[in-house]
Amino acid sequence: MEVKMMLFVLWFEWKPEHTAKLLALWKDFKFPKEVKVIGRYLLIGRHISVAIFEAPTEEFVLKITHPFREIGIAHAAPAMMLEDALKMMEKM
């Protein structure tokens, strides 16, 4: 049985004084094997990183953000392609 994946956008904000701790965590951090990472980005000069990924459930957002909980604030939202959202809204 194929698992339907959900698309998520995660952005993580941290204070400059936590940069060294964050870099150390990033070095060793591995996304869960069930997660398909589409891209990871750094917003230059903003102390914000962004990850776009697919996961089977929201539980994986917790698994991904938990190791970083004492360093900054994680924000996550489910997402969908704009074209798909427009088609769905037309039917509403």
- pTM higher than 0.85: yes
Is 32 within 8 Å of 63 (Cβ atoms)? yes
Which residue range is the domain that position 79 belongs to?
Answer: 6-90
Read off the CATH number of the domain in which 12 is found: 3.30.70.1060
Whether 41 maps to a domain, the answer reads yes
Distance CA 64, CA 62 (A): 5
Q: How many CA within 13 A on the CB side of residue 10?
A: 27
Q: How far apart are CA 41 and CA 43, in angstroms?
A: 6
Per-residue pLDDT tens for 30-87?
Answer: 999 999 999 999 999 999 999 999 999 999 999 999 999 999 999 999 999 999 999 9
